[in-house]
Structure 1
């Protein structure tokens, strides 16, 4: 009984020693949380102001007509043939541009990843060269090159390869060319980053196991580069959905992208509600595409294959 009493008194004596330490730890954690909150709060406010508020205003405007009355007509008009046709053209354009960027970007990224470091950096500077020039200047440059009296047509005529100028601009083809020029770096960069991190010894190991160079590339290198390819495809496709300037100039009014419909609805008719509904439709389509591509390519939050 006396031992029990002693052990109980010992515990009661030790308790005051632990309480100050626990209190100090709690106060330190509270200060850390307040410091973390003070650092992240400006970022949250910025995101709310520049993203959440405009998106909320977009959804709000889409629910009203030009007279300020609540209506669903802004969304019902999306079922009209002129808008459905524009929606289809937008996705066709995004698909074609993405496909061409894959065909051109994958070999280019592979070549860059296999070059020595110095040569790779020099070539990468040329890949990034379009970022140093305004998209308006690049688009007008293609307009000059692709026109009927442009450099390309004149060169083909001088070589005798054609007998009359080709229609290379003010159509679907010219728009694809201009958009590929803009979007190709967005395909090359994630591919190059992924390929550069692939261990060359893996290819040697595959060769030692009896695989041919083609088999080693297909079974090892290509599969390891798929996350970069998936990121590039997603990035290019989604950005293409919102393209405006290049289709407007190189399409000559014959390529009606969804973004151009939004602009025309505001500029020609002053119908902000209908334009907002078009924007909401594009936003929803983009989110669904991002979700679908993530499921299709089996990517996790870090952009790696699961």
Structure 2
């Protein structure tokens, strides 16, 4: 009975994900005969290797920033009630109600040469001329962090909500200060949520396209932008498929490492 109920789900996964990915990867090996030349280009060409390394580095930066910014918000959400809690939850969930394109365009308006940020800096006398904020790696990292922050906050919030308040009170009774109780009780118990949010943010950032394409420069290209370039401009589908294959392999390896290191139930914030 369970398999019958799950059949539509598996059918969607098969036809909407597995079949297209498998068909695309097959193109990377057949040109016109079976070959690994496209994958050799990805690994041996320093330009493409740099794009892969940059993609991983930017994804890591975004993940770290999301943890630093998201943990205090998630902690605050567990300490408020009523209208304040509803307001904070609405602010966290608001990005889900607008497209990534709209949020990225908003950052472009803020970061442009005559944008709000440069205007404020000039008005305060911090700088004597507008700074180059747009089309930089910093712009990409900031905008991606903003877009992906809810994916970090919600898992951490779920983990913190499952920590009984009695644990912190018990630590206080035993002589632990507020900081020590947080560092030795709450923080370790919240790590499943932190790891869950980190893997969600990191793996999503690896394949990000809209934000790097609009806010980054050609010198700061990420792998999704490179794939788009190979398909739309160069028309080199086999090589683009090889890039997708390398990215898919990397994502799969990261997911397997996390699944082996942390139980799935703990990743989802379960108290089991």
Structure with the greater alpha carbon radius of gyration: 1
Q: Is the Cα–Cα contact under 8 Å of residues 63 and 70 in structure 1 kept in the other structure?
A: yes
Per-residue deviation, 1:52: 2.3
Per-residue deviation, 1:53: 1.4
Structure 1, unmatched stretches of 5+, are: 1-34
- 2:24 matches 1:58: yes
Q: 1:48 aligns with which of 14, 19, 25?
A: 14
For 2:10 and 2:90, locate their aligned partners in 1 and report how far apart those are by CA, in whole Å: 35
Q: How many residues align?
A: 268
Q: 1:221 to 1:259 in 2, by over 3 A?
A: same
- 2:253 matches 1:275: no
What is the TM-score with the length of structure 2 in the denominator?
A: 0.93
Q: 1:36 to 1:204 in 2, by over 3 A?
A: closer
For 1:36 and 1:289, locate their aligned partners in 2 and report how far apart those are by CA, in whole Å: 30
What is the TM-score with the length of structure 1 in the denominator?
A: 0.83
Q: 2:257 aligns with which of 278, 292, 300?
A: 292
Q: 2:38 aligns with which of 62, 74, 84?
A: 74
Q: Cα RMSD over matched residues?
A: 1.6
- Structure ranking higher on relative contact order (CA contacts 8 Å, 6+ apart): 2
Q: Is the Cα–Cα contact under 8 Å of residues 101 and 184 in structure 1 kept in the other structure?
A: yes
Q: 1:208 aligns with which of 162, 173, 184?
A: 173
Instruction: Name the counterpart of 1:243.
Output: 208
- 2:268 matches 1:302: no
Per-residue deviation, 1:252: 2.9
- 2:218 matches 1:253: yes
252-261 vs 236-245, which deviates more? Answer: 252-261
Q: Secondary structure at the match of 2:140?
A: helix
- 2:112 matches 1:163: no
Per-residue deviation, 1:117: 4.3
Structure 2, unmatched stretches of 5+, are: none
190-199 vs 43-52, which deviates more? Answer: 43-52
For 1:183 and 1:288, locate their aligned partners in 2 and report how far apart those are by CA, in whole Å: 21
For 1:127 and 1:43, locate their aligned partners in 2 and report how far apart those are by CA, in whole Å: 29
1:1-306 equivalences under 5 Å are 35-65=1-31, 68-78=32-42, 79-295=44-260, 298-304=261-267
Per-residue deviation, 1:201: 1.2
